[in-house]
A and B are shown apart, each in its own frame.
Chain A
Amino acid sequence: MIINTPQVTSPASVSRLMLHVGYALIPGTLAYVWLFGAGILMQILLACLTAVATESIVLLLRKRPVLKTLSDGSALLTAVLLALSIPSIAPWWIIVLGTAFAILFGKQIYGGIGYNPFNPAMLGYVMLLISFPLEMTRWPAAMSLLEQAPSFQTSFNVIFNSGLGIDTISGATPFDTVKTQLRAGMDVPATLINSTYGKLFGSFAGVGWEMVSLGFLLGGLYLLVTRRIAWQIPVSMLGTIVVLSGLLYLIDSNYFMSPVLHLFGGASMLGAFFIATDPVSAATTPKGRIYYGIGIGVLCVVMRSWGNYPEGLAFAVLLMNMAAPTIDHYTRPRVFGQGKGN
């Protein structure tokens, strides 16, 4: 059979898209390494190896082409995103387990790329967070806060020798600190200027973390400008976070974090540009993507403000993943020649 398709060469390809998303992660990752040590690189490496191994095994079992499928790059991207989401000083089996779970139950079980209803990295993250709360909440401290920067050997030991010496290099994240202190009865402004905790908040949203967020923002802008991701999701999501947290901040600045802290203190930037924009699990209509972004933004602020966990992005993304098909159904664009244009 002759398949009539346009005889026009085009550079569009899935692997190229994934590759550029990978490039866009570089500034944020570099900032991470620079400010928190090389642990994250080990996590990324472990995640990638696990992803490739898991995906290969599943593809072999499913009798699908292994190399061709792996070369689309989506498994590697899932691995890197998950590695960037977990604490970089978590023991090795955390990332191995999480990545294998993400690939297996987040993606391949539904038929591989294109068929997964949930963002695989976030599914892996949430599984880890629920199952291993201790390991998943011990975050690295910025090296500038430590008396002695961890050597490569220390990082290696922490990751591979079950947290040997972890106490010397771990520290609370900005969101953690705010939540813990609120529970202890200290309001947000007091925490920020507190002699013990104040130094955690850096120049505007957390030592180290603010720079990592800026790095992800930079990469995200690159993706936006080169039109590799839909603008609707990051714009509506970040916009909603700013507006909603701004309103709450105006109502009660003692209890609620400022919009700046919301944007740069947690996973907002990584989430808005790299996680919520995963096209497979997101809404796909132009209008739907706006609602989808708004939904994640609202859930994020709500969970951060009232939820049990300091960060709610992963839950927000998964919940909106579930809503995506419905959103798509109700936001179909008006087709040319139907309606008001006449």
Chain B
Amino acid sequence: MTTANRKIFDFHGGLELDEHKSISTSRPIEIAPIPPLLVLPIIQHIGNAAKVSVSVGDTVLKGQCIANSEGRVSARVHASSSGKVIAIEPRSVPHPSNLKVESVVIQTDGRDREIDTSNVGVTQFKTLSTRDIHQRIQDAGIVGLGGAGFPSHIKLNVGEQPVNTLILNAAECEPYISCDDMLMREHAEEIVNGLRIMQYALSAQHCIIGIEDNKVEAFSALQKAITDQDDIELVRVPTRYPAGGERQLIYTLTGQQAPSQGRPLDIGIVCHNVGTAFAVNNAIVDGQPLTSRVVTITGSGIPQPRNMQVRLGTPIEFLLEHCHSNKNDIGKILIGGPMMGYQINAYHAPITKTCNCVLVMHQRDITAAETPLPCIRCGDCNDVCPVNLLPQQLYWHARAQEFDNIQDYNLFDCIECGCCDVVCPSRIPLVQYFRFSKTTIWQQERDKEKSDKARERHELRLERLEREKREKRERHNRKKAALKKSPEQKDDPKKAAILAAMKRVQEKKTQTSAAPANTENLNKEQQAKIDEADARRNKQKESESS
């Protein structure tokens, strides 16, 4: 069932940006070749790093788990082609700070041998229990492929909380990126089936697919894939960045605002990305773990921009060579779109689960960053802010590092979409200031927590010492008081006992002086002998002394 007459709510602000999407949608999704080396970081998601379960020298098959999830909020990593593990070591990952992460490095054999998944897949997913589905999704290592990378099995297993609406985010609002668009055009059936599985896993009453109205082909492909039995609404939303922001999309489709410090689930809504739905379908129907994703390779530094189905772990450099990008022309590489993407310097870093776009800018398009002018408080940033913040005021406090004030102005509601940066006539990198403030506040909070704990420990210790002292004093005082109150009563038995003991000792002493202990109970004969000996000794003594 599809309807086109749902009421659309306009979120505040936003921008109509040049799309630059058509340059990468003219050709079908291409399957990227197998690179000689695959680098698979053990953390490509939000949560705990996975734990490596293979060793150097092991032969691995495509789809084989090479790192197991650690704890609930974690995700497995699978080999994305067959080959030999040649190293397990920290390698560069796509990250603005050249971060290195423990990675499994596989030398591929080019044969792409797969693990046997023939018995794993289930065509009728409703024969599985929801718990089974959660488990399978977890086992497949699926994370949110829209960019955040939160483990999907958690977002599909909400426990007791009821889910009214499952929203499939097909907006893809950032310029240049077209991987979701192409996936929908070519795999609408699988995506819709993945959505059905998600709906089943969440026991969601209702499903809405929110798609920007510039994706005409994808819209009709989805329309064809949705049957009358489905409770799925396909809704066009206006093309306005950031329409695909989770909270913005929810508001556009339902008019409901997810609470600022809460989750969409608090209002009974769960949001997933189309790429994730596709991966869920593959995991349940075909039993295939997540080993590849669609990546948009685009920008002025790429002669023929396109979308590719890329094995996770494929070095970005390898993809660029494949796309005939001239290394000397590259001015800048961004992972993600031009608005929220981040620049990387390690071109050998691999494609990970959350890389949706490699945006290569030609050198000629790089302009030196302008020195920002002072803020003139024109308020254009506030006009375009989708969260209705006052970036001009936030900036003022961020510059002064007044972190209390900046939180009063709701810094933590900033989604870092970058709209304010674009319209700022003074060219102030506002979001950069906000990111800096956020991380500084987090750091301060961590430090404070640490020092709080230390202080607490210290205070507890002081308290304990104090308590011990007090108790000691109290015991002492009690004793003293008792002594003063009735010295007789208390001491009498003790003294008596001592006296008695002393008496006994005295008696014994007198006894022993009278007769040596070992000469008691003698018979007459022995006594006579002793007397004789005594007499002799006495005589001897006398004669000696005389």
Interface residues of A (CB under 8 A from B): 2-8, 10, 12-14, 16-17, 68, 72, 74, 111-115, 230, 279-280, 282, 284-286, 289, 328, 332-338, 341-342
Chain A minimum-CB-distance residue to B378: A279
CB <8 Å contact, A2 and B343: yes
Taking a contact as CB atoms closer than 8 A, the residue among A8, A279, A334, A335 that contacts B377 in the complex is: A279
CB <8 Å contact, A336 and B342: no
Q: How far is the CA of A289 from the CA of B379 in the complex (A)?
A: 10
CB <8 Å contact, B432 and A4: yes
CB <8 Å contact, A8 and B175: yes
CB <8 Å contact, A14 and B377: no
Q: How far is the CA of A285 from the CA of B388 in the complex (A)?
A: 10
Q: List 6 A-B contacts (CB under 8 A).
A: A5-B369, A8-B17, A332-B393, A335-B389, A336-B260, A337-B387
Chain A minimum-CB-distance residue to B255: A341
Give the top 5 A-B pairs by smallest Cβ distance, nearest first.
Answer: A114-B374, A337-B260, A341-B257, A7-B338, A6-B418
CB <8 Å contact, B386 and A16: no
**Assuming the A-B contacts A333-B390, A335-B387, A336-B388, are A16 and B425 also in contact, with contact meaning beta carbons closer than 8 angstroms in the complex?**
yes
Q: How far is the CA of A125 from the CA of B345 in the complex (A)?
A: 55
CB <8 Å contact, A7 and B332: yes
Q: How far is the CA of A333 from the CA of B11 in the complex (A)?
A: 14
**Assuming the A-B contacts A114-B374, A336-B388, A338-B260, are A6 and B422 also in contact, with contact meaning beta carbons closer than 8 angstroms in the complex?**
yes
Residues of chain B lying within 8 A (CB to CB) of residue A280:
376-377
Chain A minimum-CB-distance residue to B385: A336
- Let me know if B421 is at the binding interface, CB within 8 A: yes
**Assuming the A-B contacts A4-B343, A335-B388, are A342 and B374 also in contact, with contact meaning beta carbons closer than 8 angstroms in the complex?**
no
CB <8 Å contact, B378 and A17: yes
- Let me know if B339 is at the binding interface, CB within 8 A: yes
- Let me know if B392 is at the binding interface, CB within 8 A: yes
Residues of chain A lying within 8 A (CB to CB) of residue B267:
342
CB <8 Å contact, A336 and B413: yes
Shortest Cβ distance from A228 into chain B, in angstroms? 9
Residues of chain A lying within 8 A (CB to CB) of residue B418:
5-6, 8
CB <8 Å contact, A285 and B390: yes
Main secondary structure on B side of the interface with A: loop
Q: How far is the CA of A334 from the CA of B387 in the complex (A)?
A: 9
Q: How far is the CA of A289 from the CA of B104 in the complex (A)?
A: 58
Beyond A14-B426, A333-B382, A337-B247, 15 additional contacts (C-beta under 8 Å) are A4-B435, A5-B369, A6-B418, A7-B339, A8-B18, A10-B423, A111-B374, A230-B378, A280-B377, A284-B379, A284-B382, A328-B393, A332-B393, A336-B386, A336-B413
Chain B minimum-CB-distance residue to A286: B382
Q: How far is the CA of A70 from the CA of B240 in the complex (A)?
A: 36
Shortest Cβ distance from A322 into chain B, in angstroms? 15
Chain A minimum-CB-distance residue to B427: A13
Shortest Cβ distance from A150 into chain B, in angstroms? 39
Q: How far is the CA of A338 from the CA of B359 in the complex (A)?
A: 35
**Assuming the A-B contacts A337-B259, A337-B260, A338-B259, are A6 and B373 also in contact, with contact meaning beta carbons closer than 8 angstroms in the complex?**
no
Residues of chain B lying within 8 A (CB to CB) of residue A289:
379
Shortest Cβ distance from B164 into chain A, in angstroms? 14
Residues of chain A lying within 8 A (CB to CB) of residue B343:
2, 4
Residues of chain B lying within 8 A (CB to CB) of residue A285:
379, 382, 390
Shortest Cβ distance from A49 into chain B, in angstroms? 23
CB <8 Å contact, A332 and B377: no
CB <8 Å contact, B17 and A14: no
CB <8 Å contact, A341 and B422: no
Residues of chain A lying within 8 A (CB to CB) of residue B17:
8
Q: 1/0 contact trace for B404-439 toward A, CB 8 Å? A: 000001100100001001111111010110010000
CB <8 Å contact, A4 and B96: yes
Chain B minimum-CB-distance residue to A281: B377
Residues of chain A lying within 8 A (CB to CB) of residue B247:
336-337
Chain A minimum-CB-distance residue to B245: A336
**Assuming the A-B contacts A328-B393, A341-B256, are A3 and B382 also in contact, with contact meaning beta carbons closer than 8 angstroms in the complex?**
no
Q: How far is the CA of A7 from the CA of B360 in the complex (A)?
A: 11
Shortest Cβ distance from A305 into chain B, in angstroms? 31
Residues of chain B lying within 8 A (CB to CB) of residue A7:
332, 334, 338-339, 341, 359, 361
Residues of chain A lying within 8 A (CB to CB) of residue B413:
335-338
Q: How far is the CA of A114 from the CA of B378 in the complex (A)?
A: 10
**Assuming the A-B contacts A2-B343, A3-B429, A342-B256, are A8 and B422 also in contact, with contact meaning beta carbons closer than 8 angstroms in the complex?**
yes
CB <8 Å contact, B361 and A5: no
- Let me know if B114 is at the binding interface, CB within 8 A: no
Shortest Cβ distance from A295 into chain B, in angstroms? 17
Shortest Cβ distance from A264 into chain B, in angstroms? 28
